[in-house]
Chain A
Amino acid sequence: MRPFREALISLVRRPMLAALSVTAISLSLFILGLFGLTAHNISRALAAVEEKVEIVAYLRDEIDEAQLRLVRSEIGAFPEVESVEYVSKTEALYNASRELAEFSDVFPDVEVNPLPASLEVRLLPGRRDPQSVGTVAVRMSGYDFIDDVRFGRDWVDRIHTLRRIAGGTALIVGGSFALVAMLLVGATVRMSIHARSTEIAIMENVGATAGFIQRPFLAEGLISGLAGGAFALALTFGAYRLLDRAVMAVLWLPDLWIAAGILGGGVLGMLSAGRSVRQELKGLYAI
């Protein structure tokens, strides 16, 4: 408990410095939080679009019941596949007439149904990337009684490009702000070390261990990081409410992300404090 007590005393003794540090960390993490909110909403939107990714295999008219059962069960057993739905010729015509007005006009007069039966294959979440979709499509086209395999290749590619851009931007922007937050915590801890240089020299002089001397500064970094994380969460929540009420329906962050954000702030604070402590006190007991 001593390191935390001393860290709190140190923060209370220099309230302006502490406030500056926590504010700076909060703002950095707030921007990360806003980005998290955006990334989460983009991700959910993409997932919703991805759910619509399906492969349609058009069947030859001469396929019999046994072959249909076989092909359904075999495709259903592919590791990427979530479900296989059979759409009969009649259902296909009914769907078409329902969705396309011009079809419904001609439907009563059609004597021969021109539409093929099909299998609509949905893939498991996480396996809806272009490569998996392509692999499954190629494997399906290998069946003799499958006439043609279609999937929105362009759409699948675009969705995944969007996801990659979002992921890459998250990494770059998130990383940049994390770095800014680290530098700020580090600078605060350095100032704190300088402000206590006489105390540190006396501790070293009378034989305090290096760990004893360093721990309060690590605790200071941890506290600043956690406080910054908590403030950033409050700010992000405020922004979320504002957007949700005034602009458009927005999803709030998952609990795991919130916990990771606050803990991440603490870890970030402690790591940057550790780096500064190591640099500033590298002469400690060095002979």
Chain B
Amino acid sequence: MIRFRNVTKHYPRSGTALADASFHVRKAEFVFLTGPSGAGKTTVLRLVHMELAPTEGEVIISRFSSTRIRRREIPQLRRRVGFVFQDFRLLERFTAAENIAFALQVTGANRSAIRPKVMRLLDHVGLASRASAFPAELSGGERQRVAIARALATDPLVLLADEPTGNLDERASLGVFELFKQLNALGTAVILATHDTTLLRRHPETRVLELEDGRLVYDSRSDVPKPPHASSGDSSIFELVRGGPAP
């Protein structure tokens, strides 16, 4: 469903953010995208969301290819790819329900269908009772749930989450992660960018893509041993997932 073919992204000022990355994310798969700050995680997500075009290579999401997509097709793609941010990005003057309804309104949803769908989504993320609360009245975890519900409003094939637990305490983080797991179990693919090692340690069964200096250095599904030059520090994801140093 999502395929990176030898993708390189080069920024004119800051240099190469991603170098020759190739991987495939299947339908309804859950993937941790990890690596230290500046490793290229956000670049990968923005490439999937087609906010960026690869400098080389090709990104394919469902029927959309970065080499062929036209400007006017991007909104169609975005409706199939939900995005959740670390800082929630909710509209403060709207209630939780209105924030979700906003996403439906701006994508041309039928007016009569909006309210029931908003209530269903709020119920889905466990916030049915907080529908009329403004973001300022919600906890961090609750805000992120509203942001997730909003990302789900257009029934995306995949949810991209950029450090979604970065601003949350441990309990809230676990709650939000469990929500992602539930959504994934219902058929939505999830690519969750994080450097939260606790989260990775708790879910060793989940596929991990590890980036370092813009290179994909490890893919737990391919079962390829980690190259010796990669992640020499103690925080190597490979070591965390495998429970020991790289062979």
Contacts and interface: CB of A to CB of B under 8 A. Distances in A.
A11 B74 CA distance: 30
B75 A199 contact: no
A206 B51 contact: no
Interface in B85-124: 89, 91, 102-103, 106-108
Contacts of A287: 50-53, 66, 69, 71, 74
Contacts of A207: 74-79, 107, 154
Interface in B22-39: none
A202 B91 contact: yes
Interface string A183-216: 0000000000000001101111111111011000
B52 A209 contact: no
Contacts of A202: 89, 91, 102-103, 106
B71 A285 contact: yes
B106 A203 contact: yes
Nearest to B83: A205
Nearest to B104: A206
Contact of A208 (B71, B106, B151): B106
Contact of A212 (B74, B77, B106): B106
Contacts, number: 58
Contacts of A208: 75, 106-107
A77 B52 CA distance: 73
A274 B89 CA distance: 27
Interface string A240-259: 00000000000000000000
Interface in B189-220: none
B143 interface: no
B41 interface: no
Contact of A206 (B53, B71, B106): B106
A286 interface: yes
A87 to B, nearest CB: 74
Nearest to B90: A202
Contacts of B76: 207
A207 B71 CA distance: 12
A206 B78 contact: yes
Range for the number of chain A residues in contact with chain B? 10 to 19
B241 interface: no
B208 to A, nearest CB: 26
Nearest to A285: B74
A150 B72 CA distance: 70
Contacts of B107: 206-208
A202 B153 CA distance: 13
A207 B105 CA distance: 11
Interface string B61-81: 000001001011011111100
B213 to A, nearest CB: 24
Contacts of B49: 205
Contacts of B145: none
Nearest to A204: B78
Contacts of A206: 78-79, 82, 103, 106-107, 150-151, 153-154
B158 to A, nearest CB: 13
Contacts of A199: 91, 102
Contacts of B74: 207, 285, 287
Interface string B125-168: 00000000000000000000000001101100000000000000
Nearest to A2: B105
B81 to A, nearest CB: 8
A2 to B, nearest CB: 8
Contacts of A210: 71-72, 75
Interface string A250-287: 00000000000000000000000000000000000111
B89 A198 contact: yes
Please provide the 6 A-B residue pairs with the shortest distance between their CB atoms, ordered closest to farther.
A207-B78, A207-B79, A208-B106, A287-B53, A206-B103, A285-B74
Given A205-B78, A206-B107, A207-B78, 13 more contacts: A198-B89, A198-B91, A202-B103, A203-B106, A206-B79, A206-B103, A206-B150, A209-B75, A210-B72, A213-B106, A285-B72, A287-B50, A287-B69
